[in-house]
A and B are shown apart, each in its own frame.
Chain A
Amino acid sequence: MSWTWGPEPQPPAPQGAAGVGRAASRALLAAVQALPPPRREALMLTANADVLAVVGRAEHLPWCEGVLYIAPREAAPALWLPTTQRPQLPLDLLQRALERRHRPSPLLMLREPAQLLPLHRALPASDELIAQIRARWQD
Chain B
Amino acid sequence: MTSSSVPSSEPSSASSAQQAAARVRDAVHAATTGLIEREQLAELIVLAAVAQEHLLILGPPGTAKSAVVRRVAAALGGRYFEYLLGRFTEPSELFGPVDLRRLREGVVETDVSGMLPEAEVAFLDEVFLGSTAILNTLLGVLNERRFRRGHTQIACPLRVCVGASNALPDDESLAAFADRFLLHLFVEPVPDHQLEALLAGGWQAERLALSHQAELSDIDELSRRVPMVAMERARGALAEAIRKLRGAGLSLSDRRIVKAQRLIAAAAVLAGRDSAEEADLWPLFYVMPTREAQLAAQDVLRDSLAVAANPTLRAAVEHAALQPVSRTARLLEAARACLAGASDAPGAGVIAEALLREIDANFDSAGLPAELAAERARLAARVTAAA
A contacts, CB < 8 Å to B: 7, 9-11, 13-15, 34, 57-59, 61-63, 65, 67-69, 82-85
Contacts and interface: CB of A to CB of B under 8 A. Distances in A.
10 tightest A-B CB contacts, nearest first: A69-B361, A58-B193, A84-B364, A14-B361, A63-B356, A83-B361, A13-B193, A63-B357, A11-B362, A63-B353
A69 B380 CA distance: 16
Contact of B361 (A13, A57, A65): A13
Interface string B139-183: 000000000000000000000000000000000000000000000
A9 B354 CA distance: 21
Nearest to A65: B380
B322 A63 contact: no
Given A13-B361, A63-B357, A84-B364, 20 more contacts: A9-B322, A10-B322, A11-B362, A13-B191, A15-B193, A58-B194, A59-B196, A59-B354, A61-B357, A62-B353, A63-B353, A63-B360, A65-B380, A67-B360, A69-B357, A69-B360, A83-B361, A84-B363, A84-B367, A85-B364
A83 B383 CA distance: 22
A10 B305 CA distance: 14
A59 B363 CA distance: 18
A85 B360 CA distance: 12
A84 B194 CA distance: 19
Interface in B331-364: 353-354, 356-357, 360-364
Contacts of A62: 353
B187 interface: no
B387 interface: yes
Contacts of A57: 192-193
Interface of B: 191-194, 196-197, 322, 353-354, 356-357, 360-364, 367, 380, 383-384, 387
Contacts of A68: 360
Contacts, number: 49
Contacts of B367: 7, 84
Contacts of B196: 59
20 contacts: A7-B364, A7-B367, A10-B322, A11-B362, A13-B361, A14-B361, A58-B193, A58-B194, A58-B357, A59-B193, A59-B194, A63-B353, A63-B357, A65-B384, A68-B360, A82-B364, A83-B361, A84-B363, A84-B367, A85-B364
Contacts of A84: 361-364, 367
B232 to A, nearest CB: 31
Nearest to A14: B361
A15 B155 CA distance: 53
Contacts of A34: 387
Nearest to B327: A11
Contacts of B193: 13-15, 57-59
Nearest to B364: A84
Contacts of A59: 193-194, 196-197, 354
Nearest to B356: A63
Contacts of A11: 361-362
Contacts of B197: 59
- Which of A10, A13, A57, A63 lies at the interface centre, i.e. has the most chain B CB atoms within 10 A of its CB? A63
Nearest to A11: B362
A85 B363 CA distance: 9
Contacts of A82: 364
A69 B362 CA distance: 9
